[in-house]
């Protein structure tokens, strides 16, 4: 079983829709939770990272962490065609696994005009 | 400036060639990373440098040789690669190892081994 499981997608939504991207994890030692956006043939871009359970908002993006359920989500409001990309969740514990990030396999999102 | 610059953007090399990938950041970050990413897969950590010293080597074959000449530069020397080493090679940096949740990635070098 993988430590991090990400909803595989692909996901296709109309412009303006609310998008929900989700990851579950099994390692309760994870402390930090990150979301990256990766356009085709480009490097990942850090969108947000969170430490505690709860919500963190940045513009149209909201990251949600539920440590009790070992579940994280990224919500995108008013989705735009420019949001079309692969979204990677990643998790990190400084106490285990040599402090390296564990990534989900990514969800590819297409927002249609 | 939150930029990590990687050169070259594309590289085609033969299995007997020696080449180097370069990575530069001017954010004052003291931790730098090399990742390898195959198509439709997440990045895989290869090496971590902290304060110019190799901190983590994820059992990478010796045909990949990292070098950190100073706090702004990270190189990856390539020699006798195999076709299966073709991938996107990503460099990243963070303030230090304790801030690695806020790591910034470069745009990558797309390597093709023929």
The backbone torsions φ and ψ at residue A104, rounded to the nearest 5 degrees and listed phi first, read -75, 170
Among the partner residues B41, B101, B107, nearest to A32 by beta-carbon distance: B101
- Grouping H, G, I as helix, E, B as strand and the rest as coil, residue A47 is strand
How many Å lie between the alpha carbon of B9 and the closest alpha carbon of chain A?
10
Q: For the residues of B10-22, what is the DSSP string, one character each?
A: EEEE-TT-EEEEE
pLDDT tens digits for range B93-107: 999 988 888 999 999
Residue A1 clears pLDDT 70, i.e. is over it: yes
Q: Which positions in chain A have a beta carbon within 8 angstroms of at least one beta carbon in chain B?
A: 32, 34, 36, 41-46, 49, 51, 88, 90, 92, 94, 98-101, 103-106
Given this model, what pLDDT does residue B27 score? Answer: 94
CB atoms B56 and A98 under 8 Å = yes
Given this model, what pLDDT does residue A52 score? Answer: 84
CB atoms B103 and A46 under 8 Å = yes
Q: What is the spatial distance between Cα B27 and Cα A78, in angstroms, rounded to a whole number?
A: 33
Residue A112 clears pLDDT 70, i.e. is over it: yes
pLDDT tens digits for range A52-91: 889 999 999 999 999 999 999 999 999 999 999 999 999 9
Among the partner residues A43, A99, A106, nearest to B107 by beta-carbon distance: A43
Given this model, what pLDDT does residue A97 score? Answer: 55
How many Å lie between the alpha carbon of A46 and the closest alpha carbon of chain B?
7
CB-CB neighbors (< 8 A) of B60 in chain A = none
Counting as low any pLDDT under 50, the low residues of chain B are none
Q: What is the spatial distance between Cα B2 and Cα B106, in angstroms, rounded to a whole number?
A: 10
CB atoms A46 and B102 under 8 Å = yes
Given this model, what pLDDT does residue A71 score? Answer: 96
Given this model, what pLDDT does residue A8 score? Answer: 84
pLDDT tens digits for range A20-58: 999 999 999 899 999 999 999 899 999 999 988 899 999
CB atoms A43 and B108 under 8 Å = yes
CB-CB neighbors (< 8 A) of B89 in chain A = none
Asked if B19 and B11 touch (Cβ cutoff 8 Å), the reply is yes
pLDDT tens digits for range A89-100: 999 988 765 668
CB atoms B42 and A32 under 8 Å = no
Q: Strand (E) positions, B1-114?
A: 4-7, 10-13, 18-25, 31-37, 44-50, 53-57, 64-70, 73-79, 87-94, 104-105, 109-113
- Grouping H, G, I as helix, E, B as strand and the rest as coil, residue B85 is helix
B22 Cβ partners below 8 Å, 6+ apart? Answer: B6, B7, B73, B74, B75
A30 Cβ partners below 8 Å, 6+ apart? Answer: A91, A92, A93, A102
């Amino acid at each position: 079983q993988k430590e991090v499981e990400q909803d595989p997608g692909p996901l296709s939504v109309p412009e303006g829709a609310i998008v929900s991207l989700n990851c579950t994890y099994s390692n309760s030692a994870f402390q930090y939770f990150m979301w990256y956006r990766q356009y085709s043939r480009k490097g990942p871009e850090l969108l947000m990272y969170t430490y505690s359970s709860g919500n963190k908002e940045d513009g149209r993006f909201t990251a949600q962490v539920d440590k009790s359920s070992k579940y994280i989500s990224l919500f995108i409001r008013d989705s735009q065609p420019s949001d079309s990309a692969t979204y990677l969740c990643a998790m990190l514990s400084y106490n285990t696994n040599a402090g390296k990030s564990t990534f989900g396999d990514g969800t590819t999102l297409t927002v249609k005009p | 400036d939150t930029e990590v610059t990687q050169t070259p953007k594309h590289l085609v090399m033969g299995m007997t060639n020696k080449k180097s990938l370069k990575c530069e950041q001017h954010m004052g970050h003291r931790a730098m990373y090399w990742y390898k990413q195959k198509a439709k897969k997440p990045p895989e950590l290869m090496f971590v440098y902290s304060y110019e010293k190799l901190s983590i080597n994820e059992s990478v074959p010796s045909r990949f040789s990292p070098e950190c000449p100073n706090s702004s530069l990270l190189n990856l020397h390539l020699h006798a690669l195999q076709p299966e080493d073709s991938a996107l090679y990503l460099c990243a940096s963070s303030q230090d190892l304790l801030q690695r949740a806020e790591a910034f990635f470069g745009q990558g070098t797309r390597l093709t081994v023929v």
